[in-house]
Structure 1
Amino acid sequence: MPYITAKDGTKIHYTDWGTGPVVVLSHGWPLSSEAWAVELMLLADKGYRAIAHDRRGHGKSDWTWDGNDMDTYASDLNDLIEALDLHDITLVGHSTGGGEVVRYAAQHGVGRVKKIFTAGAVPPIMLKSDSNPDGTPIEALDAIREGVATDRSQYFQDLAVPFFGANLEGAKVSQGSKDDFWRQGMRMSIKGAYDCIKAFSETDFTEDLKALDVPIFIAQGDADQIVPIKAAALKSIELVKHGTLKVYPGAPHGIAGDYQKELDQDILAFLAD
C-alpha cells in the first residue's frame, strides 16, 4: 500500500489511480478514501490521475493522538502533494474534506491548485453563534461527541440514516450504503473521530474562502441534515471570488444514489471546462 510520511512522522495512506490531469479527493467524517471509490474509478477511466488519501486518524493512515485538527490535516495534504510533486491540481472535497481542501488551497496550494469542487462542505463555519444563527448548536455537536465516546458502533449506525437522508419521504438509499458508512467509521480511531468533531465544526474558513483566487464549484443538497446549507454553501458562495453554486433539490449530505450520479457528472463537466 502506498504511504507518504508527514512532517511529524505520521504515515498517510493514499490511492493513486490513472494518468492525466490530477484530481485530489478529500473525504468526509468519519469516512476514508474508500468513500471516493466510485469517483476514483470513474476519473481514472475518463483519463484523469485520481488520488485520495486517508486523513490521519482515519482508515489506513496512522491513528495519532495529536494533530487531529484542520491546520494539521491541511499540512498533511500539503505533504502528500509535495511528495508526489503534483501540479495543476483540481481539489474535490466532501464535508470535512471540503474544509480541508479550502484551507490547503488558501494556505499551501498557491501555484499548484487549478480548481476546487466542494460538496456538502463545512465552510465557512458550522457552529451556531450570534454571527452564524443558521449553524449547528453546540449541544448537537456535544451529542455527537457523546455518541462517539460512549458507543460509536451504534452511533454510526444511527447517524447513517440522516447522513443519507434515509428518513426522508421517498428515500431510496440502500442498506449497503448505510452499512458501508458504519464500516468506514469503525475503521478510524476513537480519538481521531472525537477530535475531528471540533475540527470540522469550529474551524472558521472565512478568510480562506476570501483568499481563494481559482474557480470553485460549491455543491450542496437542500435536504442536507448534517451540514446546514444556510450556514454552508449559501454563505460560502458570497465569500469567494470565482464561485459557482449548485443546489440539488432533495439531496442529502451523503453522496449516493441519484445524487451521486448527478454530482459525478458535474465534477466531470467542471474538470472539462
Structure 2
Amino acid sequence: MPRAKTGSGAAAYETGTDPQDGVEIFYKDWGPRDAQIIHFHHGWPLSADDWDAQMLFFLAQGFRVIAHDRRGHGRSSQVRDGHDMDHYADDVAAVVSHLDAQQAIHVGHSTGGGEVIRYIARHTADPVPKAAIISAVPPLMVKTESNPGGLPKKVFDDLQAQLAANRAQFYRDIPAGPFYGYNRPGAKPSEGVISNWWRQGMMGSAKAHYDGIVAFSQTDFSADLESITIPVLVMHGDDDQIVPHENAGVLSAKLLKNSTLKLYPGFPHGMPTVNAETINNDLLAFVRG
C-alpha cells in the first residue's frame, strides 16, 4: 500500500510518496483539525481543483475539507501503472492514514464516485459514516450480457482513440460540449469553465488517462455497492450525456442497502460546477442530517 510523508510545500499543499512504485499523491487539506472531515474525489481526467466550489463552501461552513489528485492526474506522479480502481482506493487509504483523516464523509464525482465505493468496500477498517456519489460511474458503464443497459465498448474505444490522436483538442471538445451540457439549445457556455477543465486535463498523464478510461468503464462495482451499509446519497442529473443516469445512479441506489436517490431534471454531468449552489446545499443537508 502507498505510504505518505509530509512534503515541503505550504501547509495545505503536501505530497505523499510510495517507495514501492514511486507514486506521489498531491492533496489539499484545509480547515480546523478537529472538525468533521469531507474528503472529495474528482472525476476523469481532472484534479482536486475541480472541487473548488465545494471546498470553499464547506470550509466556510466550518468543515475540514480534503481533496487529492489521483495518481497520474493533476500534480500527482505520472507513474507507468496502477491506473485501476484498486490502486486508486489504496492511494486514498495512504492519504487518509497520513492525514489521520479516518471517519471522513467521502464525496465522489464520476470516476471519483467509483473510487469512493471501492475505497469503502476495500478498506473497511476506516469507519466511514456517510458517503455521496455524484454523476458516478457505478455499477458498470460498459454493456455486457449481464448489463444490457450499458454503453457499447466501442464508445470507450473511441474515447481512447481520440485521446491518442489529439488529446489537446479532445479535452477542449468535451467541456465545450456534453460534459456541462453546453451543446444543448439555449445553453450559455462559460469560457472560464471550459478552459479550467482543459487546464486540469492537460496537467495529467496521457497514459494514466488512457488507462483510466478502461478503469472507469469496465470496473464492475456491483459487489462493492451491495456490501456497503452506511447511508449513501446518490445524486445524478437526468440530462447526463457522459454517464446516463438510468444505468448508473438509479441502479446504484437499488444495489445499496441504505441509499437516498436524488435526480435533477435537466442537470448535466458536470453539475457540481455549473449547478454548484443546488448541489452544495443538498450535500450540506445530507452531511448534517
Shorter-chain TM-score: what band? over 0.9
Partner Cα separation in structure 2 for residue 154 and residue 258 of structure 1: 22
Of the candidates 41, 45, 52, which is equivalent to residue 60 of structure 2?
45
Dislocated runs of 4+, deviation >4 Å: none
The offset of 1:230, in angstroms, is 1.4
Tell me what 2:14 maps to: 2
Once superposed, what is the RMSD of the aligned Cα atoms?
1.2
Write the letter of the residue equivalent to 2:17: T
Which range is displaced more, 79-88 or 138-147?
79-88
Identity within the alignment, %? 44
Secondary structure at the counterpart of residue 61 of structure 1: coil
Q: Size of the alignment, in residue pairs?
A: 273
Aligned to 1:137: 152
Q: Which moved more, 1:202-211 or 1:84-93?
A: 84-93
Helix, strand or coil at the partner of 2:129: strand
**Does the 8 A contact of 1:10 with 1:62 survive in 2?**
yes
Q: Provide the residue aligned with 1:17 in structure 2.
A: 30
> Are residues 15 and 164 of structure 1, via their aligned partners in 2, closer, same or farther at CA, if it must alter by over 3 Å?
same
CA positional deviation for 1:255? 2.7
1:79 aligns with 2:94: yes
Q: Letter of the aligned partner of 2:86 in structure 1?
A: D
Match of 2:265 among 246, 249, 257: 249
* Aligned residue type for 1:232: A
Change (3 A) 1:267 1:9: same
The aligned residue for residue 119 of structure 2 is 104
TM-score by length of 1: 0.97
Gaps of 5+ in 1: none
Gaps of 5+ in 2: 1-12
SS at match of 1:152: helix
How far apart are 1:228 and its partner, in Å? 1.4
1:75-111 CA deviation, whole Å, 9 max, x = no partner? 1001110111112210000000000010000110444
2:135 maps to what in 1?
A: 120
Question: Given the superposition, is the C-alpha separation of residues 111 and 185 from structure 1 closer, same or farther in structure 2, using an over 3 Å criterion?
Answer: closer
How many Å apart are 1:257 and its aligned residue?
Answer: 5.8
User: TM-score, normalized by length of structure 2?
Assistant: 0.92
